[in-house]
Structure 1
Amino acid sequence: MIDVAALRALRSVATRGTLARAADDLGFTASAVSQQIKRLERQVGVPVLAQAGRGVVLTPAGQALVDSAPDVFQALERCAEAARSVADGAPSGVLRVAAFSTAIRGLLAPAIAKLRTRCPDLTIHVTELDPDQALRGVDAGTADLALVHDADGLPAQLPPSTTQRHLHTDIGDVVMSRTHPLSRQEAPLTKEDLVGHAWVTSPPGTVCHQWFRRLAPEDPEVRHLVDDFATQLTLVESGDVLALIPRLARPPLGDGLVARQLRTPPKREVYVAWRRSADASPAIRAVVSAL
Protein backbone atom coordinates (compact mmCIF):
# COMPACT_ATOMS: atom_id res chain seq x y z
CA MET A 1 0.00 0.00 0.00
CA ILE A 2 1.34 3.43 -0.94
CA ASP A 3 1.82 5.87 1.94
CA VAL A 4 -0.34 8.91 1.20
CA ALA A 5 1.97 11.33 3.03
CA ALA A 6 4.92 10.08 0.98
CA LEU A 7 2.93 10.49 -2.24
CA ARG A 8 2.04 14.04 -1.19
CA ALA A 9 5.73 14.74 -0.55
CA LEU A 10 6.66 13.51 -4.04
CA ARG A 11 4.00 15.72 -5.59
CA SER A 12 5.27 18.73 -3.68
CA VAL A 13 8.85 18.04 -4.85
CA ALA A 14 7.57 17.87 -8.42
CA THR A 15 5.69 21.16 -8.02
CA ARG A 16 8.36 23.11 -6.14
CA GLY A 17 11.44 21.67 -7.84
CA THR A 18 13.60 20.86 -4.79
CA LEU A 19 13.37 18.91 -1.55
CA ALA A 20 14.01 22.09 0.45
CA ARG A 21 11.13 24.04 -1.13
CA ALA A 22 8.80 21.08 -0.79
CA ALA A 23 9.77 20.84 2.88
CA ASP A 24 8.88 24.52 3.38
CA ASP A 25 5.42 23.98 1.87
CA LEU A 26 4.75 20.80 3.84
CA GLY A 27 6.11 22.06 7.17
CA PHE A 28 8.83 19.38 7.39
CA THR A 29 12.59 19.35 7.17
CA ALA A 30 14.28 18.47 3.89
CA SER A 31 15.61 15.32 5.60
CA ALA A 32 12.08 14.24 6.54
CA VAL A 33 10.87 14.75 2.97
CA SER A 34 13.84 12.72 1.72
CA GLN A 35 12.89 9.87 4.07
CA GLN A 36 9.30 9.97 2.82
CA ILE A 37 10.51 9.70 -0.78
CA LYS A 38 12.73 6.74 0.10
CA ARG A 39 9.78 5.04 1.82
CA LEU A 40 7.68 5.57 -1.31
CA GLU A 41 10.42 4.03 -3.47
CA ARG A 42 10.46 0.96 -1.22
CA GLN A 43 6.68 0.66 -1.50
CA VAL A 44 6.54 0.85 -5.31
CA GLY A 45 9.81 -0.97 -5.86
CA VAL A 46 11.36 1.51 -8.31
CA PRO A 47 13.18 4.87 -8.04
CA VAL A 48 10.94 7.93 -8.27
CA LEU A 49 13.65 10.63 -8.15
CA ALA A 50 17.05 10.89 -9.78
CA GLN A 51 19.94 13.24 -9.09
CA ALA A 52 20.40 16.09 -11.58
CA GLY A 53 23.42 18.14 -10.60
CA ARG A 54 22.63 19.56 -7.17
CA GLY A 55 18.92 18.98 -7.60
CA VAL A 56 16.56 16.13 -8.40
CA VAL A 57 14.23 15.22 -11.24
CA LEU A 58 11.35 12.78 -11.49
CA THR A 59 11.98 9.40 -13.07
CA PRO A 60 9.30 8.14 -15.49
CA ALA A 61 7.87 6.08 -12.62
CA GLY A 62 7.86 9.14 -10.38
CA GLN A 63 6.09 11.18 -13.05
CA ALA A 64 3.45 8.46 -13.40
CA LEU A 65 2.84 8.58 -9.64
CA VAL A 66 2.58 12.39 -9.64
CA ASP A 67 0.15 12.31 -12.56
CA SER A 68 -2.11 9.90 -10.65
CA ALA A 69 -1.76 11.63 -7.28
CA PRO A 70 -4.60 14.21 -7.63
CA ASP A 71 -7.15 11.45 -8.27
CA VAL A 72 -5.90 9.60 -5.17
CA PHE A 73 -6.04 12.64 -2.88
CA GLN A 74 -9.45 13.74 -4.13
CA ALA A 75 -10.94 10.26 -3.76
CA LEU A 76 -9.66 9.96 -0.18
CA GLU A 77 -10.94 13.41 0.73
CA ARG A 78 -14.35 12.73 -0.81
CA CYS A 79 -14.57 9.53 1.26
CA ALA A 80 -13.77 11.40 4.47
CA GLU A 81 -16.14 14.28 3.76
CA ALA A 82 -18.95 11.93 2.77
CA ALA A 83 -18.61 10.21 6.14
CA ARG A 84 -18.65 13.54 7.98
CA SER A 85 -21.61 14.89 6.03
CA VAL A 86 -23.85 11.90 6.81
CA ALA A 87 -22.79 11.60 10.46
CA ASP A 88 -24.77 14.54 11.82
CA GLY A 89 -23.85 17.33 9.39
CA ALA A 90 -22.44 19.47 12.20
CA PRO A 91 -19.10 21.19 11.51
CA SER A 92 -16.42 19.88 13.86
CA GLY A 93 -12.69 19.31 14.17
CA VAL A 94 -9.94 21.64 12.99
CA LEU A 95 -10.09 23.70 9.80
CA ARG A 96 -6.79 25.22 8.64
CA VAL A 97 -7.09 28.60 6.93
CA ALA A 98 -4.26 30.38 5.10
CA ALA A 99 -4.89 34.07 4.43
CA PHE A 100 -3.20 37.40 3.80
CA SER A 101 -2.99 39.75 6.77
CA THR A 102 -5.72 42.26 5.96
CA ALA A 103 -8.20 39.49 5.12
CA ILE A 104 -7.50 38.01 8.54
CA ARG A 105 -8.27 41.37 10.14
CA GLY A 106 -11.27 42.40 8.08
CA LEU A 107 -12.98 39.13 7.08
CA LEU A 108 -11.70 36.09 8.93
CA ALA A 109 -11.61 37.39 12.51
CA PRO A 110 -15.28 38.55 12.38
CA ALA A 111 -16.28 35.19 10.84
CA ILE A 112 -14.49 33.27 13.61
CA ALA A 113 -16.41 35.29 16.18
CA LYS A 114 -19.71 34.23 14.56
CA LEU A 115 -18.65 30.60 14.27
CA ARG A 116 -17.72 30.33 17.94
CA THR A 117 -21.44 30.41 18.78
CA ARG A 118 -22.82 28.67 15.69
CA CYS A 119 -20.29 25.82 15.55
CA PRO A 120 -18.86 25.22 19.03
CA ASP A 121 -17.15 21.96 17.97
CA LEU A 122 -15.24 23.62 15.12
CA THR A 123 -11.76 25.08 15.70
CA ILE A 124 -10.15 27.43 13.17
CA HIS A 125 -6.35 27.53 12.84
CA VAL A 126 -5.08 30.59 10.94
CA THR A 127 -1.73 31.03 9.19
CA GLU A 128 -0.74 34.28 7.49
CA LEU A 129 0.49 33.59 3.94
CA ASP A 130 0.67 35.51 0.68
CA PRO A 131 -1.93 34.41 -1.90
CA ASP A 132 0.38 32.21 -3.97
CA GLN A 133 1.67 30.43 -0.86
CA ALA A 134 -1.88 30.01 0.48
CA LEU A 135 -3.08 28.40 -2.74
CA ARG A 136 -0.10 26.05 -2.80
CA GLY A 137 -0.95 25.08 0.77
CA VAL A 138 -4.52 24.17 -0.19
CA ASP A 139 -3.31 22.26 -3.23
CA ALA A 140 -0.70 20.40 -1.15
CA GLY A 141 -3.18 19.60 1.63
CA THR A 142 -1.41 21.64 4.34
CA ALA A 143 -4.34 24.11 4.41
CA ASP A 144 -8.07 23.60 3.91
CA LEU A 145 -9.12 27.11 2.90
CA ALA A 146 -7.23 30.04 1.37
CA LEU A 147 -8.23 33.70 1.36
CA VAL A 148 -6.54 35.36 -1.61
CA HIS A 149 -6.74 38.57 -3.61
CA ASP A 150 -6.03 39.36 -7.23
CA ALA A 151 -2.60 40.72 -8.11
CA ASP A 152 -3.02 44.25 -9.42
CA GLY A 153 -6.12 43.27 -11.38
CA LEU A 154 -4.89 39.81 -12.40
CA PRO A 155 -6.78 36.91 -10.77
CA ALA A 156 -4.79 34.50 -8.64
CA GLN A 157 -3.68 31.39 -10.55
CA LEU A 158 -5.82 28.57 -9.17
CA PRO A 159 -4.38 25.04 -9.04
CA PRO A 160 -6.61 22.58 -10.96
CA SER A 161 -7.57 20.85 -7.70
CA THR A 162 -9.25 23.97 -6.27
CA THR A 163 -12.36 26.03 -6.69
CA GLN A 164 -13.11 29.54 -5.45
CA ARG A 165 -15.87 31.97 -4.55
CA HIS A 166 -15.78 35.75 -4.66
CA LEU A 167 -16.04 37.26 -1.17
CA HIS A 168 -15.38 40.95 -1.21
CA THR A 169 -14.24 44.02 -3.14
CA ASP A 170 -11.66 45.92 -1.11
CA ILE A 171 -11.31 49.65 -1.79
CA GLY A 172 -8.58 52.12 -0.88
CA ASP A 173 -9.28 55.48 0.76
CA VAL A 174 -6.99 58.40 1.60
CA VAL A 175 -6.62 58.87 5.36
CA MET A 176 -5.51 62.19 6.82
CA SER A 177 -5.48 64.24 9.98
CA ARG A 178 -8.60 66.28 10.69
CA THR A 179 -6.33 69.33 10.59
CA HIS A 180 -5.15 68.56 7.04
CA PRO A 181 -6.46 70.97 4.36
CA LEU A 182 -8.02 68.13 2.33
CA SER A 183 -10.12 66.99 5.30
CA ARG A 184 -12.54 69.86 4.62
CA GLN A 185 -13.28 68.66 1.08
CA GLU A 186 -16.49 66.62 1.03
CA ALA A 187 -16.46 65.62 -2.66
CA PRO A 188 -14.45 62.51 -3.63
CA LEU A 189 -10.80 63.35 -4.15
CA THR A 190 -9.21 63.46 -7.59
CA LYS A 191 -5.58 62.96 -8.60
CA GLU A 192 -5.30 66.72 -9.03
CA ASP A 193 -6.42 67.30 -5.43
CA LEU A 194 -3.44 65.26 -4.21
CA VAL A 195 -0.76 67.35 -5.92
CA GLY A 196 1.68 68.96 -3.51
CA HIS A 197 0.93 66.79 -0.48
CA ALA A 198 3.36 64.46 1.31
CA TRP A 199 2.76 60.73 1.91
CA VAL A 200 3.49 57.71 4.02
CA THR A 201 3.08 54.59 1.90
CA SER A 202 3.77 50.87 1.82
CA PRO A 203 7.18 49.80 0.48
CA PRO A 204 7.76 49.02 -3.21
CA GLY A 205 6.72 45.51 -4.21
CA THR A 206 3.45 45.57 -2.26
CA VAL A 207 -0.03 45.82 -3.78
CA CYS A 208 -0.69 49.04 -1.87
CA HIS A 209 2.45 50.65 -3.26
CA GLN A 210 1.28 49.76 -6.77
CA TRP A 211 -2.05 51.41 -5.93
CA PHE A 212 -0.21 54.48 -4.67
CA ARG A 213 1.97 54.84 -7.78
CA ARG A 214 -1.11 54.85 -10.03
CA LEU A 215 -2.96 57.27 -7.79
CA ALA A 216 -0.24 59.72 -6.83
CA PRO A 217 0.71 62.72 -8.96
CA GLU A 218 4.01 62.76 -10.81
CA ASP A 219 7.08 62.84 -8.50
CA PRO A 220 5.12 62.55 -5.23
CA GLU A 221 6.81 63.48 -1.97
CA VAL A 222 7.12 60.22 -0.05
CA ARG A 223 8.44 60.92 3.43
CA HIS A 224 7.93 57.51 5.00
CA LEU A 225 7.95 53.89 3.75
CA VAL A 226 6.13 51.72 6.29
CA ASP A 227 4.52 48.29 5.78
CA ASP A 228 2.33 48.27 8.90
CA PHE A 229 -0.91 50.20 8.45
CA ALA A 230 -1.38 51.00 12.13
CA THR A 231 2.06 52.62 12.11
CA GLN A 232 1.14 54.55 8.97
CA LEU A 233 -1.88 55.97 10.79
CA THR A 234 0.29 57.04 13.71
CA LEU A 235 2.43 59.04 11.27
CA VAL A 236 -0.68 60.47 9.60
CA GLU A 237 -1.79 61.79 13.00
CA SER A 238 1.21 64.13 12.89
CA GLY A 239 -0.88 66.14 10.43
CA ASP A 240 1.52 66.56 7.51
CA VAL A 241 1.24 63.28 5.52
CA LEU A 242 -1.48 61.32 3.75
CA ALA A 243 -1.86 57.54 3.56
CA LEU A 244 -3.66 55.30 1.05
CA ILE A 245 -5.14 52.44 3.07
CA PRO A 246 -7.41 49.55 2.01
CA ARG A 247 -10.62 49.38 4.02
CA LEU A 248 -9.96 45.80 5.07
CA ALA A 249 -6.62 46.89 6.53
CA ARG A 250 -7.93 49.91 8.38
CA PRO A 251 -8.30 49.75 12.14
CA PRO A 252 -10.88 52.08 13.73
CA LEU A 253 -9.79 55.67 13.15
CA GLY A 254 -9.18 57.83 16.18
CA ASP A 255 -10.86 61.17 16.69
CA GLY A 256 -7.94 62.93 15.04
CA LEU A 257 -8.20 61.08 11.71
CA VAL A 258 -10.63 61.04 8.80
CA ALA A 259 -10.90 58.91 5.63
CA ARG A 260 -11.82 60.50 2.31
CA GLN A 261 -13.08 58.58 -0.71
CA LEU A 262 -11.46 58.83 -4.13
CA ARG A 263 -13.34 59.55 -7.32
CA THR A 264 -11.61 56.57 -8.96
CA PRO A 265 -10.56 54.38 -6.05
CA PRO A 266 -8.12 51.47 -6.37
CA LYS A 267 -9.76 48.08 -5.86
CA ARG A 268 -8.83 44.44 -5.32
CA GLU A 269 -11.07 41.39 -5.40
CA VAL A 270 -10.90 38.89 -2.54
CA TYR A 271 -11.73 35.19 -2.96
CA VAL A 272 -11.93 32.08 -0.81
CA ALA A 273 -10.56 28.86 -2.33
CA TRP A 274 -10.70 25.20 -1.31
CA ARG A 275 -10.15 21.77 -2.84
CA ARG A 276 -12.98 20.56 -5.05
CA SER A 277 -12.87 17.21 -3.33
CA ALA A 278 -13.85 18.92 -0.04
CA ASP A 279 -17.06 20.45 -1.41
CA ALA A 280 -19.16 18.29 0.93
CA SER A 281 -17.24 19.29 4.07
CA PRO A 282 -19.62 20.72 6.70
CA ALA A 283 -16.73 22.70 8.17
CA ILE A 284 -15.80 24.34 4.86
CA ARG A 285 -19.43 25.11 4.10
CA ALA A 286 -19.86 26.71 7.51
CA VAL A 287 -16.76 28.90 7.23
CA VAL A 288 -17.47 29.97 3.66
CA SER A 289 -21.01 30.87 4.69
CA ALA A 290 -19.76 32.91 7.65
CA LEU A 291 -17.27 34.71 5.42
Structure 2
Amino acid sequence: MMDVGALQALRSVAALGTLTRAAEELGFTASAVSQQIKRLERQVGVPVLAPAGRGVVLTLAGRAIVDAAPEVFQALERCAQAARSVAEGAPRGTLRVVSFSTGIRGLLAPVMARVAERCPELRVHITEQEPGQALHCVDAATADLALLHDVDGLPVPLPPSLTQRHLHTDVGDIVMHRTHPLASDASPLAAGDLAGHVWATSPPHTVCHQWFRRLVAELPKEPEVRHLIDDFSTQLSLVASGEVIALIPRLARPPLPDGLVVRPLRQPPKREVYAAWRRSAQASPAIRALLAELPRQATAAQVQ
Protein backbone atom coordinates (compact mmCIF):
# COMPACT_ATOMS: atom_id res chain seq x y z
CA MET A 1 0.00 0.00 0.00
CA MET A 2 1.21 3.52 -0.79
CA ASP A 3 2.58 5.46 2.19
CA VAL A 4 0.51 8.59 2.86
CA GLY A 5 3.45 10.55 4.29
CA ALA A 6 5.52 9.78 1.20
CA LEU A 7 2.63 10.86 -1.00
CA GLN A 8 2.43 14.18 0.85
CA ALA A 9 6.19 14.62 0.48
CA LEU A 10 5.97 14.11 -3.29
CA ARG A 11 3.12 16.58 -3.51
CA SER A 12 5.16 19.25 -1.69
CA VAL A 13 8.23 18.61 -3.88
CA ALA A 14 6.02 18.96 -6.96
CA ALA A 15 4.69 22.34 -5.76
CA LEU A 16 7.96 23.80 -4.44
CA GLY A 17 10.53 22.37 -6.86
CA THR A 18 13.23 21.17 -4.46
CA LEU A 19 13.62 18.63 -1.68
CA THR A 20 14.99 21.34 0.61
CA ARG A 21 11.97 23.65 0.29
CA ALA A 22 9.58 20.71 0.67
CA ALA A 23 11.44 19.64 3.82
CA GLU A 24 11.14 23.16 5.29
CA GLU A 25 7.40 23.17 4.67
CA LEU A 26 6.87 19.68 6.12
CA GLY A 27 9.18 20.16 9.11
CA PHE A 28 11.61 17.39 8.10
CA THR A 29 15.20 17.28 6.88
CA ALA A 30 15.88 17.09 3.16
CA SER A 31 17.37 13.63 3.76
CA ALA A 32 14.14 12.44 5.40
CA VAL A 33 12.06 13.71 2.47
CA SER A 34 14.45 12.02 0.04
CA GLN A 35 13.99 8.73 1.90
CA GLN A 36 10.20 9.12 1.77
CA ILE A 37 10.35 9.64 -2.01
CA LYS A 38 12.59 6.58 -2.43
CA ARG A 39 10.15 4.54 -0.35
CA LEU A 40 7.31 5.71 -2.60
CA GLU A 41 9.30 4.70 -5.69
CA ARG A 42 9.82 1.23 -4.24
CA GLN A 43 6.10 0.96 -3.53
CA VAL A 44 4.98 1.95 -7.03
CA GLY A 45 7.90 0.34 -8.83
CA VAL A 46 8.87 3.33 -11.02
CA PRO A 47 10.85 6.59 -10.57
CA VAL A 48 8.73 9.60 -9.61
CA LEU A 49 11.42 12.32 -9.63
CA ALA A 50 14.25 13.23 -11.99
CA PRO A 51 17.09 15.75 -11.43
CA ALA A 52 16.79 19.12 -13.19
CA GLY A 53 19.65 21.55 -12.55
CA ARG A 54 19.70 22.30 -8.83
CA GLY A 55 16.14 21.06 -8.39
CA VAL A 56 14.00 18.15 -9.43
CA VAL A 57 11.05 17.57 -11.74
CA LEU A 58 8.33 14.95 -11.70
CA THR A 59 8.46 12.06 -14.09
CA LEU A 60 5.26 11.25 -15.97
CA ALA A 61 4.53 8.60 -13.34
CA GLY A 62 5.18 11.10 -10.55
CA ARG A 63 2.83 13.64 -12.15
CA ALA A 64 0.12 10.99 -12.46
CA ILE A 65 0.45 10.23 -8.73
CA VAL A 66 0.34 13.91 -7.74
CA ASP A 67 -2.71 14.52 -9.93
CA ALA A 68 -4.57 11.67 -8.19
CA ALA A 69 -3.37 12.58 -4.67
CA PRO A 70 -6.13 15.12 -3.79
CA GLU A 71 -8.76 12.38 -3.88
CA VAL A 72 -6.69 10.34 -1.40
CA PHE A 73 -6.22 13.21 1.04
CA GLN A 74 -9.86 14.26 0.80
CA ALA A 75 -11.02 10.71 1.57
CA LEU A 76 -8.71 10.55 4.59
CA GLU A 77 -9.91 13.91 5.83
CA ARG A 78 -13.56 12.89 5.50
CA CYS A 79 -12.76 9.88 7.69
CA ALA A 80 -11.21 12.14 10.33
CA GLN A 81 -14.13 14.58 10.20
CA ALA A 82 -16.60 11.72 10.62
CA ALA A 83 -14.76 10.64 13.75
CA ARG A 84 -14.82 14.18 15.16
CA SER A 85 -18.52 14.49 14.44
CA VAL A 86 -19.20 11.37 16.48
CA ALA A 87 -17.48 13.08 19.42
CA GLU A 88 -20.35 15.63 19.59
CA GLY A 89 -18.65 17.94 17.11
CA ALA A 90 -16.77 19.82 19.85
CA PRO A 91 -13.91 21.92 18.43
CA ARG A 92 -10.67 20.43 19.73
CA GLY A 93 -7.08 19.80 18.75
CA THR A 94 -5.03 22.19 16.63
CA LEU A 95 -6.32 24.45 13.85
CA ARG A 96 -3.51 25.64 11.56
CA VAL A 97 -4.30 29.01 10.01
CA VAL A 98 -2.25 30.90 7.39
CA SER A 99 -2.93 34.54 6.60
CA PHE A 100 -1.47 37.76 5.21
CA SER A 101 -0.15 40.05 7.94
CA THR A 102 -2.94 42.63 8.09
CA GLY A 103 -5.54 39.86 8.10
CA ILE A 104 -3.85 38.58 11.24
CA ARG A 105 -3.81 42.04 12.81
CA GLY A 106 -7.33 43.13 11.85
CA LEU A 107 -9.37 39.90 11.78
CA LEU A 108 -7.67 36.98 13.53
CA ALA A 109 -5.91 38.52 16.52
CA PRO A 110 -9.03 40.30 17.85
CA VAL A 111 -11.05 37.05 18.02
CA MET A 112 -8.41 34.78 19.58
CA ALA A 113 -9.50 35.43 23.18
CA ARG A 114 -13.15 34.81 22.30
CA VAL A 115 -12.32 31.55 20.47
CA ALA A 116 -10.22 30.38 23.43
CA GLU A 117 -13.07 31.13 25.84
CA ARG A 118 -15.73 29.36 23.77
CA CYS A 119 -13.54 26.45 22.61
CA PRO A 120 -11.15 25.64 25.48
CA GLU A 121 -9.96 22.38 23.84
CA LEU A 122 -9.02 24.12 20.58
CA ARG A 123 -5.58 25.58 19.86
CA VAL A 124 -5.24 27.97 16.92
CA HIS A 125 -1.76 28.24 15.37
CA ILE A 126 -1.27 31.19 12.98
CA THR A 127 1.48 31.59 10.37
CA GLU A 128 1.96 34.62 8.15
CA GLN A 129 1.83 33.73 4.44
CA GLU A 130 1.08 35.64 1.26
CA PRO A 131 -2.08 34.46 -0.57
CA GLY A 132 -0.44 32.21 -3.17
CA GLN A 133 1.65 30.33 -0.62
CA ALA A 134 -1.26 30.21 1.83
CA LEU A 135 -3.44 28.47 -0.77
CA HIS A 136 -0.69 25.95 -1.45
CA CYS A 137 -0.38 25.18 2.27
CA VAL A 138 -4.12 24.52 2.62
CA ASP A 139 -4.27 22.47 -0.59
CA ALA A 140 -1.26 20.42 0.57
CA ALA A 141 -2.85 19.92 4.01
CA THR A 142 0.02 21.59 5.88
CA ALA A 143 -2.56 24.21 6.97
CA ASP A 144 -6.31 23.97 7.56
CA LEU A 145 -7.63 27.47 6.82
CA ALA A 146 -6.30 30.44 4.86
CA LEU A 147 -7.19 34.12 4.89
CA LEU A 148 -6.59 35.62 1.45
CA HIS A 149 -7.00 38.94 -0.29
CA ASP A 150 -7.43 39.52 -3.99
CA VAL A 151 -4.46 40.75 -6.00
CA ASP A 152 -4.90 43.96 -7.99
CA GLY A 153 -8.65 43.37 -8.07
CA LEU A 154 -8.32 39.77 -9.24
CA PRO A 155 -9.08 36.85 -6.89
CA VAL A 156 -6.35 34.31 -6.28
CA PRO A 157 -7.14 31.21 -8.43
CA LEU A 158 -8.67 28.56 -6.18
CA PRO A 159 -7.77 24.86 -6.66
CA PRO A 160 -10.83 22.62 -7.21
CA SER A 161 -10.19 20.91 -3.87
CA LEU A 162 -10.79 24.16 -1.95
CA THR A 163 -13.84 26.28 -1.20
CA GLN A 164 -14.04 29.84 0.09
CA ARG A 165 -16.23 32.41 1.82
CA HIS A 166 -16.11 36.17 1.48
CA LEU A 167 -15.31 37.79 4.82
CA HIS A 168 -14.60 41.47 4.39
CA THR A 169 -14.04 44.42 2.09
CA ASP A 170 -10.97 46.33 3.25
CA VAL A 171 -10.58 49.98 2.22
CA GLY A 172 -7.86 52.60 2.52
CA ASP A 173 -8.09 55.97 4.27
CA ILE A 174 -5.74 58.96 4.37
CA VAL A 175 -4.10 59.61 7.75
CA MET A 176 -2.50 62.94 8.66
CA HIS A 177 -1.55 65.08 11.64
CA ARG A 178 -4.32 67.32 13.01
CA THR A 179 -2.25 70.38 11.99
CA HIS A 180 -2.06 69.27 8.35
CA PRO A 181 -4.08 71.40 5.88
CA LEU A 182 -6.21 68.40 4.87
CA ALA A 183 -7.30 67.82 8.48
CA SER A 184 -9.57 70.87 8.64
CA ASP A 185 -12.55 69.14 6.95
CA ALA A 186 -14.10 65.77 7.81
CA SER A 187 -15.77 65.17 4.42
CA PRO A 188 -14.43 62.46 2.07
CA LEU A 189 -11.42 63.47 0.00
CA ALA A 190 -11.34 63.47 -3.80
CA ALA A 191 -8.17 62.37 -5.55
CA GLY A 192 -7.54 65.95 -6.66
CA ASP A 193 -7.41 67.10 -3.04
CA LEU A 194 -4.18 65.11 -2.62
CA ALA A 195 -2.17 67.15 -5.12
CA GLY A 196 0.93 68.91 -3.75
CA HIS A 197 1.21 66.90 -0.54
CA VAL A 198 4.15 64.80 0.65
CA TRP A 199 3.77 61.08 1.35
CA ALA A 200 4.95 58.10 3.33
CA THR A 201 3.95 54.96 1.40
CA SER A 202 4.46 51.23 1.32
CA PRO A 203 7.34 50.05 -0.92
CA PRO A 204 6.82 49.16 -4.60
CA HIS A 205 5.46 45.69 -5.40
CA THR A 206 3.11 45.75 -2.40
CA VAL A 207 -0.67 45.91 -2.59
CA CYS A 208 -0.75 49.24 -0.76
CA HIS A 209 1.78 50.80 -3.13
CA GLN A 210 -0.45 49.72 -6.02
CA TRP A 211 -3.35 51.44 -4.22
CA PHE A 212 -1.26 54.59 -3.90
CA ARG A 213 -0.24 54.60 -7.58
CA ARG A 214 -3.86 54.27 -8.71
CA LEU A 215 -4.97 56.99 -6.33
CA VAL A 216 -2.49 59.56 -7.64
CA ALA A 217 -2.47 58.41 -11.29
CA GLU A 218 -4.46 61.40 -12.58
CA LEU A 219 -2.78 64.13 -10.55
CA PRO A 220 -1.17 66.80 -12.75
CA LYS A 221 2.20 66.40 -11.04
CA GLU A 222 4.00 63.34 -9.67
CA PRO A 223 3.59 63.40 -5.87
CA GLU A 224 6.63 63.58 -3.63
CA VAL A 225 7.18 60.30 -1.80
CA ARG A 226 9.56 61.05 1.03
CA HIS A 227 9.44 57.72 2.85
CA LEU A 228 9.05 54.09 1.69
CA ILE A 229 8.10 52.05 4.76
CA ASP A 230 6.54 48.57 4.87
CA ASP A 231 5.39 48.72 8.49
CA PHE A 232 2.22 50.75 8.99
CA SER A 233 2.96 51.65 12.62
CA THR A 234 6.23 53.18 11.42
CA GLN A 235 4.40 55.06 8.69
CA LEU A 236 2.09 56.53 11.35
CA SER A 237 5.07 57.61 13.46
CA LEU A 238 6.30 59.60 10.46
CA VAL A 239 2.82 61.02 9.84
CA ALA A 240 2.89 62.24 13.45
CA SER A 241 5.75 64.57 12.47
CA GLY A 242 3.20 66.62 10.52
CA GLU A 243 5.21 66.60 7.28
CA VAL A 244 3.65 63.66 5.43
CA ILE A 245 0.35 61.88 4.85
CA ALA A 246 -0.20 58.14 4.35
CA LEU A 247 -2.71 55.78 2.77
CA ILE A 248 -3.49 53.09 5.37
CA PRO A 249 -5.80 50.05 4.97
CA ARG A 250 -8.30 49.81 7.80
CA LEU A 251 -7.29 46.23 8.59
CA ALA A 252 -3.69 47.41 8.99
CA ARG A 253 -4.40 50.46 11.11
CA PRO A 254 -3.38 50.20 14.76
CA PRO A 255 -4.90 52.57 17.34
CA LEU A 256 -3.95 56.06 16.22
CA PRO A 257 -1.56 58.11 18.37
CA ASP A 258 -2.89 61.36 19.75
CA GLY A 259 -2.88 64.13 17.17
CA LEU A 260 -3.56 62.00 14.09
CA VAL A 261 -6.70 62.37 11.96
CA VAL A 262 -8.34 59.98 9.47
CA ARG A 263 -10.01 61.27 6.28
CA PRO A 264 -11.99 58.81 4.13
CA LEU A 265 -11.79 58.90 0.34
CA ARG A 266 -14.72 59.38 -2.04
CA GLN A 267 -13.48 56.48 -4.15
CA PRO A 268 -11.28 54.49 -1.79
CA PRO A 269 -9.05 51.64 -2.97
CA LYS A 270 -10.48 48.28 -1.94
CA ARG A 271 -9.52 44.65 -1.59
CA GLU A 272 -11.75 41.66 -0.89
CA VAL A 273 -10.80 39.25 1.89
CA TYR A 274 -11.76 35.56 1.83
CA ALA A 275 -11.39 32.47 3.99
CA ALA A 276 -10.49 29.26 2.13
CA TRP A 277 -10.39 25.64 3.26
CA ARG A 278 -10.48 22.14 1.80
CA ARG A 279 -13.90 20.91 0.71
CA SER A 280 -13.21 17.66 2.51
CA ALA A 281 -12.91 19.64 5.78
CA GLN A 282 -16.31 21.28 5.39
CA ALA A 283 -17.64 19.59 8.52
CA SER A 284 -14.63 20.46 10.71
CA PRO A 285 -15.90 21.76 14.07
CA ALA A 286 -12.68 23.77 14.50
CA ILE A 287 -13.01 25.55 11.15
CA ARG A 288 -16.69 26.24 11.80
CA ALA A 289 -15.90 27.67 15.23
CA LEU A 290 -13.37 30.15 13.86
CA LEU A 291 -15.52 31.09 10.86
CA ALA A 292 -18.41 31.86 13.20
CA GLU A 293 -16.33 34.57 14.90
CA LEU A 294 -14.71 36.18 11.86
CA PRO A 295 -17.78 37.89 10.29
CA ARG A 296 -18.45 39.74 13.54
CA GLN A 297 -14.88 41.03 13.64
CA ALA A 298 -15.00 41.87 9.94
CA THR A 299 -18.00 44.11 10.58
CA ALA A 300 -16.15 45.85 13.40
CA ALA A 301 -13.09 46.37 11.19
CA GLN A 302 -15.22 47.86 8.41
CA VAL A 303 -16.41 50.76 10.55
CA GLN A 304 -13.28 51.58 12.51
Q: Distance in 2 between matches of 1:165 and 1:208?
A: 23
- What residue number does 2:102 align with? 102
**Post-superposition shift, 1:53?**
4.5
Residues 26 and 140 in structure 1, CA contact (< 8 A), matched pair in contact too: no
> 1:98-127 CA distances to partner (integer Å, 9 max, x unpaired)?
001100011001221211111111000000
Query: Structure 2 matches for 1:16-55, cutoff 5 A?
Result: 16-55=16-55
**Post-superposition shift, 1:30?**
2.8
Q: Distance in 2 between matches of 1:196 and 1:213?
A: 15
> 1:39-70 CA distances to partner (integer Å, 9 max, x unpaired)?
11122232222234444332333222212211
> 1:212-244 CA distances to partner (integer Å, 9 max, x unpaired)?
011123411000000000000000000010000
- What residue number does 1:226 align with? 229
TM-score normalised over the length of structure 1? 0.96
- What residue number does 2:292 align with? 289
Q: Distance in 2 between matches of 1:2 and 1:242?
A: 59
**Post-superposition shift, 1:5?**
1.2
Query: Structure 2 matches for 1:89-238, cutoff 5 A?
Result: 89-216=89-216, 217=219, 218-238=221-241
Q: Distance in 1 between matches of 2:176 and 2:159?
A: 40
Q: Distance in 1 between matches of 2:181 and 2:57?
A: 61
Residues 25 and 136 in structure 1, CA contact (< 8 A), matched pair in contact too: no
Task: Kindly report the root-mean-square deviation, in angstroms, between the aligned alpha carbons of the 2 structures.
Answer: 1.3
1:245 lines up with 2:242 in the alignment: no
Q: Which ranges of structure 1 fall in alignment gaps of 5 or more residues?
A: none
Residues 177 and 237 in structure 1, CA contact (< 8 A), matched pair in contact too: yes
Q: Distance in 2 between matches of 1:276 and 1:78?
A: 9
Q: Distance in 2 between matches of 1:245 and 1:285?
A: 31
Q: Distance in 1 between matches of 2:192 and 2:51?
A: 59
- What residue number does 1:84 align with? 84
Q: Distance in 2 between matches of 1:223 and 1:53?
A: 43
Number of aligned residue pairs: give it. 291
Give me the identity figure in percent. Answer: 74
Q: Distance in 2 between matches of 1:17 and 1:231?
A: 36
- What residue number does 1:64 align with? 64
**Post-superposition shift, 1:186?**
2.0
> 1:181-218 CA distances to partner (integer Å, 9 max, x unpaired)?
10012221011111110000000000000000111234
**Post-superposition shift, 1:20?**
3.1
- What residue number does 1:262 align with? 265
Q: Which ranges of structure 2 fall in alignment gaps of 5 or more residues?
A: 295-304
Runs of 4 or more off by more than 3 Å in structure 1? 52-55
